[in-house]
Amino acid sequence: MKKLYVILFAVLIFAAGCEKNYSPEERDYINKIEKIRIDKNNEMKNDANSPFNLEPKVHFEELKYFDINPGFVFKSKLTEYPAKDTIKIYGTKGEERKVIRFGFVSFSYKNSNYKMNVYKGTSRTGVEYYSLWFTDKTTNEETYGVGRYLDFELNPDKDFIYSIDFNLAYNPYCAYSSKYSCAVPTKEDYLDLAIEAGEKKFHD
């Protein structure tokens, strides 16, 4: 029995040593993201317009996520393209869509630089929106095979500093139900790194 206690004590010491020493600000941030995830689970489970509650209904389970990592939050200005080209993309059901390649944000990670396009589109109800979507080295492994999205809210200030928070990366509705079709990221939207943050695959 004494030997067992020694082993358990050693495991606890090891676990404590492995725990990251986050600053108070980072702890507050982690708590904020945890609340966002709880709220989203509740919305997905209970909202009548959730993909889990529309025909064909999908059995609800809590969404799956990577551990929250403040190291996957980046800051960037938006660089608008001088010529904002309208390009063709496709939905997961094969339908053609048109969006505007509006600009890009950029970030550095482990001494490498990356760029993400910001797209401007129009919803079926005529509402304009801006979005980031991407694939990375986790795609079709830990994360949804089509790719993941980040919402983007355009600020009128040209010098505004945006937060690119991959802990908020989420799956489009087509990840949960075949009822939906979602925009497929292009080859240009591939990030050559493993974004181990945000939402994971829903279906294994």
Integer Cα distance of 35 and 25 in angstroms? 16
Task: Give per-residue pLDDT as tens, 62-81.
Answer: 999 999 999 999 999 999 99
Low-confidence stretches of the chain (pLDDT < 50) are: 1-18
Helix, strand or coil, per DSSP, at residue 131? strand
Exposed (0-12), middle (13-18) or buried (19+): which is 53, by Cβ within 10 Å?
middle
Tokens coding 41: 């689970």
Strand (E) or helix (H) holding 15: helix 2-18
Q: For position 19, what pLDDT does the model report?
A: 52
Residue 132 near residue 152 (C-beta atoms within 8 A): yes
Q: For position 33, what pLDDT does the model report?
A: 98
DSSP, res 135: B
